[in-house]
Chains A and B, each alone.
Chain A
Amino acid sequence: MADLKLTDVEKAYGDVKVLSDINLDIKKGELIVFVGPSGCGKSTLLRMIAGLERITGGTLEIDGLVVNDIPPAQRGIAMVFQTYALYPHMTVRDNMAFALKIAKKSRQEIDAAVSRAARILQLDQYLDRLPKALSGGQRQRVAIGRSIVRDPKVYLFDEPLSNLDAALRVATRIEIAQLKESMPESTMIYVTHDQVEAMTLASRIVVLAGGGISQVGSPLELYNRPENEFVAQFIGSPAMNMIPGEVVETGPQTVVKLEGGGTARADIPTNDGDKGLKVNLGVRPEDLTATDGEEFLYRGQVEIVEALGELTVLYFKPDGRERPMLAKLPGTHAEMRGRNVKLIAEPDRIHLFHNGKSLLYR
């Protein structure tokens, strides 16, 4: 239930800067997801917001108040840890009541808050159990319940699902989405390395890479209009294909001649000076279709066919680039194995990058 503002925030361990130039405005009621590869500093950023990690540069404001030097408990935040971090010697009830007991709330108030949280999370039957007598999913719900009872301004989640098995992960993800829906006023910051979680939960995604923010935007913005090659390849699965090429025609549409003999027309405006520009063409596997026509974007031999039923993933023979070309076609195409296939894509599904930056954002 609060606005957050990060200005030029940075984090250094001794001489090693792990984060710098973090500028971010988070509005009340948003569910922000920090996503990025392991070790990029997601947890560090979250822990700085929580107050568990000192901010070594810049300012953090919550509701207009600079909180850099305010201890965690007074920032109005609650945090859910990846390892649940339940107090092993306390029952579920005591785990949830601990913060309120510390705050010297009355018995009635504590009981009311705990039973409300237990009801929301369907933990009523487990209130008198110890954490060790609960399943992983239930433990994580207790950890979430511990946050709810405090009625914080900001909820912080650090990879809350990564210790759960696949089925439970999906179920708990949906529960978190419902929880957010039932508390539209609350602000949530959610850390994950899993882009599916990011896409399904976020109102806005913050992609972290290389010690800074790579792009901020809604899930579909990031998917449709990635600012740079990193975001383009990080969001979406399987990752976007990249083919080097050279601009040959400019105008409201751009024509690119590609390595491997293909050409592609993109709905991206360029001007005369761009002729001859070296670019990387990006195209998502799901945007490619097989063609028999003269024109093609890519031509190659199919090496592996993964038939998943509703769709088929084609892996092409590597042609010297670091990753093989991938295409994702609807339906079943088991017969394509070993064949030479030509691929094309619609002009509005093509991305062009120069020096790693998208031509859309020049």
Chain B
Amino acid sequence: MIGVGGCVGYFYFSNIILDKVIFPAKGPQAGRNINRANKVRPWLFLFPAMFALGLYLAYPVVGSFWRSLFDRSGNNFIGLGNYADLFAGSSFRTAVFNNLLWILVVPAMATFFGLLVAQLTDRLKWGNIAKSLIFMPMAISFVGASLIWKFVYSANPDIGIINATRDFFGLSPVDPVQIPFWNNFFLMFILVWIQTGFAMVILSAALRGIPEETIEAAIIDGANPFQVFFSIKVPQIMGTIVVVWTTITILVLKVFDIVYTMTGGNFGTHILPSYMMTYMFRDDGRATAVAFVIMILVLPVMIWNIAQARKEMR
């Protein structure tokens, strides 16, 4: 009530002040004043929204950057010292490298599997059941998913399915999350498992939106199912594929939970978000510096994503 009343009041009185006090529509300059008032008016309406955006979006960005220029106590200004330290440390560089791997692999795999499943389940009677099953992981939190996969990857053959299989063939158990380099992929697979459902749902809707006649025309033109899929269907939903791809890319740059839960960043598995988490509450200066690096990385993907989504809307 107060909010709505406040809004109405704000617009009403600000307009009155504009018309009566600042640019009165009287006297020798009435015409010019009306024009000037009309030029200012849009800004009156925009002001509250811009103020809120500024408060909740711009301020934190600037604030974080400012904080990243101070040491862990927050009292001593050290300029770009945090950044210099970050780039000098080998664990940060590992995290950046791993993160690049994640960005390359996870969106590609999730989009690919999503597209595959969307296409394969399209005409099946039990396709919707299959889709629901594949969509399920979306409903699980990252931590929950990690716990499930902790069991799958467990080194104990009585718990982990991988080692149970190895055991069956008489092989000795291994701990997948401790295998250097490849353990990254085992962790990535968890996010792929979660995100395939998302990709599938969006791409399935896009596939449904393709005009049936273009497919029939291609069939008459002699295209086989593969050619129909790759030459007719995929190009028509390319915009959606890009949106799905970039959306997952952005997500990859903020998911710390999986690494945090599975390995805590040990065994060379850190990625930037999990690396940031290790400094959080201990050295906020350094943590915000990492956050800033992440933001710089996300920004171009974000812009591209929005541009593509806009193109799709048209």
Residue positions of A touching B, CB distance < 8 A: 50-52, 71-74, 77-79, 81, 83-90, 98-99, 102-103, 146, 150
For the complex formed, measure the closest distance between the CB of B238 and the CB atoms of chain A, giving whole angstroms: 7
* Contacting pair B220 A52 (CB below 8 A): yes
Q: Which residues of B contact A79 (CB under 8 A)?
A: 216-217, 220
Contact of A98 with B213 in the complex, beta carbons under 8 Å:
no
Extra contacts, 11 of them, besides A52-B216, A74-B222, A146-B217 (Cβ < 8 A), are A73-B223, A79-B216, A79-B220, A81-B213, A81-B216, A83-B211, A85-B216, A85-B217, A86-B217, A87-B232, A98-B231
A98 nearest in chain B by CB position: B221
**B236 in contact (CB, < 8 A):** yes
A85 adjacent to B221 (CB under 8 Å): no
- Interchain CB contact (< 8 A) of B211 among A52, A85, A89, A90: A85
B220–A83 touching, CB < 8 Å? no
Report 30 cross-chain contacts, Cβ distance below 8 Å, ordered by A residue.
A50-B220, A51-B220, A52-B216, A52-B220, A71-B219, A72-B219, A72-B220, A73-B219, A73-B223, A77-B220, A79-B216, A79-B217, A83-B213, A84-B213, A85-B211, A85-B213, A85-B216, A85-B217, A86-B217, A87-B217, A87-B235, A87-B236, A89-B235, A90-B235, A98-B221, A98-B223, A102-B223, A102-B227, A103-B222, A146-B221
Chain B residues closer than 8 Å to A72, beta-carbon distance: 219-220
> From DSSP, what is the main secondary structure of chain B's interface residues?
helix
Interface membership of B14, Cβ < 8 A: no
Is B143 an interface residue, CB under 8 A from the partner? no
Count contacts between A and B, CB distance < 8 Å: 58
Residues of chain A contacted by B216 (CB below 8 angstroms): 52, 79, 81, 85
Bound CA–CA A51/B211 (angstroms)? 18
CB pair A73–B236 under 8 Å, yes or no, is no
A89, B220: Cβ atoms under 8 Å? no
Q: A98 vs B216: C-alpha distance in the bound complex, in angstroms?
A: 13
**Which residue of chain A has its CB nearest to the CB of B232?**
A87
Q: How far is the CA of A55 from the CA of B270 in the complex (A)?
A: 61
Complex contact A88–B214 (CB within 8 A): yes
In whole angstroms, how far apart are the Cα atoms of A98 and B222 in the complex?
9
Contacts A89-B235, A89-B238 hold; do A99 and B211 have CB atoms under 8 A apart?
Answer: no
B294 at the binding interface (Cβ < 8 Å): no
Give complex CA distance A355, B232 in Å: 52
Query: Does B301 interact with chain A (Cβ within 8 Å)?
Result: no
Verify if B108 is at the interface (C-beta below 8 Å from A).
no
B34 at the interface (CB under 8 A from A): no
B295 at the interface (CB under 8 A from A): no
In the assembled complex, the CB of B241 is this many whole angstroms from the nearest CB of chain A, namely 12
- Which chain A residues lie closer than 8 Å to B235 at the CB level? 87, 89-90
Q: Which residue, of B214, B227, B238, has the highest number of chain A Cβ atoms within 10 A?
A: B214
Q: Which residue of B lies closest to A89 (CB)?
A: B235
Asked whether B238 lies within 8 Å of A99 as measured between CB atoms, the reply is no
Contact A78 B213 (CB under 8 A): no
* Chain B residue nearest to A104 in the complex (CB): B222
Complex-state Cα separation, A73 to B213, whole angstroms? 15
Q: Which residues does chain B contribute within 8 Å of A98, judged by CB atoms? A: 218, 221, 223, 231
* B residues less than 8 Å from A89 (CB atoms): 235-236, 238
Q: Kindly state the separation between the CA atoms of A73 and B227 in the bound complex, as whole angstroms.
A: 13
Closest Cβ of chain B: how far from A144's Cβ, in Å? 12
Task: Give the CA-CA distance A74 to B220 in the complex, in Å.
Answer: 8
The docked-state distance in angstroms from the alpha carbon of A103 to that of B115 is: 27
List residues of chain B with CB within 8 A of the CB of A81: 213, 216-217
Select from chain B the residue with minimum beta-carbon distance to A152. B220
A346-B223 Cα distance, complex, nearest whole Å? 58
A150 to B217, CA, bound (A): 13
Q: Which residues of B contact A85 (CB under 8 A)?
A: 211, 213-214, 216-217
Residue of B nearest to A158 (CB): B213
What B residues does A99 contact at CB under 8 A? 221-222
In angstroms, Cα B133 to Cα A171, docked, is: 54
Q: Is the CB of B214 within 8 A of A73?
A: no
Query: A185 vs B222: C-alpha distance in the bound complex, in angstroms?
Result: 23
Nearest A-chain residue to B214, judged by Cβ: A85
CB-CB nearest in chain A for B238: A89
Chain A nearest CB from B213 CB (Å) reads 4
Closest 8 CB pairs of A and B: A85-B213, A73-B222, A99-B221, A89-B235, A85-B217, A102-B222, A81-B213, A72-B220
CA distance A79 to B215 in the complex (A): 12
CA distance A89 to B216 in the complex (A): 16
Which residues on the B side are within 8 Å of A52 (C-beta)? 216, 219-220
Docked pose: A348 CA to B50 CA in angstroms: 83
With both beta carbons as reference points, the residue of chain A lying nearest to B220 in the complex is identified as A72
Query: What's the minimum C-beta distance from A136 to chain B, rounded to whole angstroms?
Result: 15
**Residues of A with C-beta under 8 A to B227:** 102
| A86 x B214 contact (CB < 8 A) | yes
Cα-based distance from A83 to B217 in the complex (angstroms) = 11
Which residues of chain A have C-beta atoms less than 8 A from B231's C-beta?
Answer: 98
CA distance A195 to B152 in the complex (A): 69
Contact A87 B222 (CB under 8 A): no
CB contacts (< 8 Å) of B222 on chain A: these are 73-74, 99, 102-103
> Is there contact, CB below 8 Å, between B223 and A87?
no
Question: Measured between C-beta atoms, what is the minimum distance from B222 to chain A in Å?
Answer: 4
Q: How many whole Å from B120's CB to the nearest CB in chain A?
A: 21
Which B residues are CB-close (under 8 A) to A88? 214, 236
Interface hits, B134-159 → A, CB 8 Å: none
Provide the bound-state CA to CA distance between A185 and B257, in Å. Answer: 71
Chain B, residue nearest A94 (CB): B231
Q: How far is the CA of A99 from the CA of B222 in the complex (A)?
A: 6
Complex interface: chain B residues within 8 A of A77 (CB): 220
Within B238-285, the residues touching A (CB, 8 Å) are: 238
A72 to B222, CA, bound (A): 7
Distance of A79 Cα from B218 Cα, bound (Å): 10
State in angstroms the CA–CA spacing of A173 and B135 once bound together.
50
A193 to B247, CA, bound (A): 47
Q: Contact between B220 and A78 (Cβ–Cβ < 8 Å)?
A: yes
Distance of A146 Cα from B213 Cα, bound (Å): 14
Closest to A150 in B: B221
Closest A-chain residue to B215, C-beta based? A85
